Chain A
Amino acid sequence: MKNHVTLEASNITRRYKSSGRGVTGVSLAVGRSEIVGLVGPNGSGKSTLLRVLSTAIEPDSGTFRVGGADGVKEKRKVRARLGLMLDRPTHYDDLSGRANAYLFARSYGMDEEKADRALAELFDYFDLTPYADDRVKTYSYGMGKKLALIEAIAHGPELLLLDEPSLGLDYTSQLAYQRKVRQLAAEGVAVLLASNQVDEVETLCDRVVFLHRGRVLSVGTPEELVSSLEGVKRIVATLRNPVDYGPVANVAGVERVAPEGRDLVVHCEDRPNVVADVVAGIVAAGGEIADLAVRRPSLADVYLELTGEALRDED
């Protein structure tokens, strides 16, 4: 962890009475200039944890501090230090993008001149300047996401909480957003990023926190976590038809089999002919293979190895 701690959460528990889901005993810290990825499938507790840390809901137990301010007792102080981007962008659709962003900037206490300067720079950075005075209802989903990101960072937060920030962004915008997050981190901002885009998490994050059924499963740098799968081969078969993949699991050397959407992800020993044997197993199970890839293990594989569950739900 770099420098001093910006976010320190200790034993956060918050369960929903209706579903019993939530988070239990979660402790984590994000240091200044650090980017931490929060990774887990739907229902693992990522959004609940972000809700607690954003002060939207109170924990049943546990404490957290942002820049030294208590997240339960000093909510407004904490809010002033946060930059927040929810997974679904939400704006006043009948107002312009600029008016929305200006409202947020001023709500965070920026003066007129600073707000104007920061917003002009960010609208320009995210290529939204030509649309700044258009009503938000004319924006695409991706433009709405970029606007939400501008609203999250314009006031210069100490801690940035991002929920699936790149979902819905085109490739160029994703790169622009990643550059901006790196730049902010370099300037001292702590970033907690909830995402299931493992490529993004691997390239962007200094550390990764795996959440599983509301609890912290594992913490480490992406390299540490992925290297735990050394000697494991990852075979991804895209199938035209769903199959009973039980027989594939019986192929010699296969450690785990899990569906991810239309893909069947197979973890196996790195031994000669294992790919041919796995393919034969899939074919024998009645699977028609549309595409096949042998890849190096990713964070998604680490998660699968640790929990036996795929990071992304079956489609």
Chain B
Amino acid sequence: MKISRWLQRLDAYWKKDVALFFGKRFALVIKMVYPMALIAPVAASDIPAQYAAAVVGIVAIMAGTFGAGESLTADLNDGILLRIALTPISPRRIVFEILAVNAALDFVQLLPALLLVYVLNPAPLVWVLAATVAVFATLLAANCIGVFIANFTSSPADVLLYATAILVPLIYLSGFFRNQNPTGVLATVRDLVPFAYANDALKAVFGEAARATPLEVLVYPTLIAALMALGVCLTAPRLLSPRL
């Protein structure tokens, strides 16, 4: 079956996002180019590993949070998502599909840039694998934040505002720029932020010693992002009900 025909056969909700992602060619080019445009110069430069990792991590966080939150509020405002929610599909399944497919599509966007990072900065395979998993967990967690925000506002502009308010402390805690070697409560809280593990893994890929082990990077952010996804899916009935 040709891809264009496959994209018109929307037999599951998640396929709609895939069809829209690939259906608009100009937008697709922009989506694929901008992570590369931001990450490629960093990957090719010899800036400190800490900052190179921060750029990749922040691109992932922003892509995930703003993408899911804005498109979701737009669909909610338009009423189409509420209409879909009145079909027999479970609201939790709809939200799960939104989360999963958006994280996967964000990952597709980031993958070429990520591969370039790996090519230009050869690292042990275990760290490459850990970084890839952690970046996906970061995207999933960021999408969870975007969907969570959509529970409280119907304005895409507000999503930017609320997301910034939520992300700034999380980025600080993750040690992208400050809080590199936290102790006490800050260290404990950092361990609960999935972005921190992506930061650790990416630092390792860029050649700096990481705080966490590859196994911790593989397991913890995956678990935390899965718990976040579960929590967000539980908000589905509220999220997909009319705002009165």
A contacts, CB < 8 Å to B: 16, 18, 51, 54-57, 76-77, 79-80, 82, 84, 86, 88, 90-92, 94-96, 98-99, 102-104, 106-109, 112, 133
Contacts and interface: CB of A to CB of B under 8 A. Distances in A.
23 contacts: A56-B85, A56-B241, A57-B241, A79-B88, A86-B79, A86-B83, A90-B78, A94-B23, A95-B8, A95-B10, A95-B19, A96-B8, A99-B9, A99-B10, A102-B8, A103-B11, A103-B13, A106-B11, A106-B12, A107-B84, A107-B88, A108-B87, A109-B88
Contacts of A18: 244
B29 interface: no
A133 B98 CA distance: 25
B59 interface: no
Given A79-B87, A106-B11, A107-B88, A90 B80 contact: yes
A304 B110 CA distance: 63
A112 B90 contact: no
B211 interface: no
A18 B87 CA distance: 28
Given A109-B88, A112-B11, 6 more contacts: A56-B86, A56-B242, A88-B79, A91-B80, A95-B23, A99-B10
Contacts of A98: 8
Contacts of B7: 99
B82 interface: yes
B126 interface: no
Chain B interface bracket (under 10, 10 to 19, 20 to 34, 35 or more): 20 to 34
B24 interface: yes
Contacts of A56: 82, 85-86, 241-242
A79 B24 CA distance: 32
Contacts of A84: 83, 86
B222 to A, nearest CB: 30
A61 to B, nearest CB: 17
A57 B8 CA distance: 31
Contact of B11 (A76, A88, A102): A102
Q: Considering the complex of A and B, which 3 residue pairs feature the smallest CB-CB distances, nearest first?
A: A107-B87, A103-B10, A80-B88
Given A57-B244, A103-B10, A103-B13, A95 B20 contact: yes
Contact of A102 (B10, B82, B242): B10
A106 B8 CA distance: 12
A57 B19 CA distance: 30
A225 B112 CA distance: 70
Interface in B24-39: 24
Interface string B88-114: 111000000000000000000000000
B87 A54 contact: no
B87 A92 contact: no
B83 A76 contact: no
A163 to B, nearest CB: 12
A145 B139 CA distance: 37
B82 A95 contact: no
B91 to A, nearest CB: 9
Interface in B64-87: 78-80, 82-87
Contacts of B85: 56
Contacts of A54: 86
B87 A104 contact: yes
Interface string B210-244: 00000000000000000000000000000001101
